[in-house]
Each structure stands twice: as C-alpha cells, then as structure tokens.
Chains A and B, each alone.
Chain A
Amino acid sequence: MRLHLKSKPIITGLALVLLFSSLSFKCSGGPPNDPNSKFRTAAKASDDIAQGISQMIDLKRKLAQQGKISAAEESVITDLLLKVNTADKLFVARIKTMTTAPDANGKSALATLFAEVTSALAELNSKGFLPLGNGGAKSQLAKLLALATTAAQVIGTFLKP
C-alpha cells in the first residue's frame, strides 16, 4: 500500500493519539498509600487536558510569531482555549470537594460539568482550528487537540454509571 502525502499527517496524528492513550493507561497506578485513588483516573485526565491546553497556548503563540496564523485567528483560538480552560477548572474544583467515591448522583454531577469540557473542546476544533488558513498550523494544533480529546475520553469512561 502506498501512502499519499496528504495521509501522512493523519497517520502521525493517529499514532500520537495511540501513544498518548497507552501511556495514560500504563501510568494509572499511583503510590500504594494514595488516599484518594478512586478519583485518580479523573484527576489524571483533567491534569492531562490542562497540560494539553498549556501546550496549545505555547504553540499558537509560536505560530502567531511566525506569521502562520493571523491576529484575528489567534484571537478566536485564545477565547476558545479560555473557555476549555474555565470548564476544566470547574471540573477540577468539583473533584477537589469530593471526599468519598462518587455515587450515581455524584457521577451525574461530574458528567454534567465534564460535558462542558468536551463541548468546549469540540467548539475549539470547529470554530478555532478548522477555519485556519494555514494547513500546517491547522495540522499541528489539531494534533495537540486530539491528545487532549483522548484524555477527555478517559474521563468519559470513568464517569459511565
């Protein structure tokens, strides 16, 4: 099978997502005396999303400095990143207040907050990244978003009743 040039970024992106997912699961174990291990999966994934946002901020600044995205495009991405960040902050704040493993109601409350995070990630893709004029910039930012979305899917599994 011959690989077309256009399919290479997609394959790279998929490989990165696979790598990230496998690492996320591999590193799920914590210290044996971890008192709040029942929240570990959700905590790790929300931390991964936070780190993904941080990397996207640095990358979009770099792309703007290189003239690969316009000020208007950077402005839209900045607003949307802030929306994702705020949603993840609320989710983390809710986990912080929990002292026991979440029951069905607790999981439902977390799921509602987390739906805001996934919705903001989808909006970042559709309104921030997809309209970008520079294909290279779009591809790079989309790869980081794919990693953050993979982390989001890990939380989604944890929140299933």
Chain B
Amino acid sequence: MENLLALLTKLAPLAATFVPQAGQATDILDAVAALIRHINAQNGMTTDEIIASAADTLDKNEQKLLADQIRLHGGTP
C-alpha cells in the first residue's frame, strides 16, 4: 500500500504536465495520501496518544481557520 501510494504521488505531477485537468488529481491525491499515512501511523499508538493527536490537530485547525477568518473578513473573525 505504501509503495503504491508513493508511486501514485510521484506519477501524479508528471501526469499534470501532459493531461488537461490532471493537476486536480494531484491535489486530491496528496490529500488522500496524507490521510492514509495518518491512519497507518495510528497503528502503533495507544488510545491516549490518538486522543492527544486528535486534540493537537483540532487546535492547529482552529488556529488556521481563525487566521483565515481574519484574512477573509479583514480583521474581524
């Protein structure tokens, strides 16, 4: 699975050069590959570590979204 993902993520940018609209596939493939890597990484973790990882990701998400709100609303989140 890891090898297949590595191959697909390497081939996708190449396809983007030759195939119209293949760039979209690259974006989505990167995102899906990141999700699958994340799920695989959970394998060796305890439940407490997974909960801590979720809390950490959610905190980072909140920071990013608040920054986006400030950018989009011009200073008022």
Contacts and interface: CB of A to CB of B under 8 A. Distances in A.
A and B form one complex = yes
A40 interface: yes
Contact of B40 (A27, A82, A143, A144): A27
B50 interface: yes
Contacts of B73: 75
B69 A140 contact: no
Interface residues of A, number: 53
B40 A23 contact: yes
B10 interface: no
Nearest to B64: A57
A36 B47 contact: yes
Contacts of A86: 62
Given A96-B55, A140-B27, A39 B47 contact: yes
Interface in B13-59: 21, 24, 27-28, 31-32, 34-36, 38-40, 42-48, 50-51, 53-55, 57-58
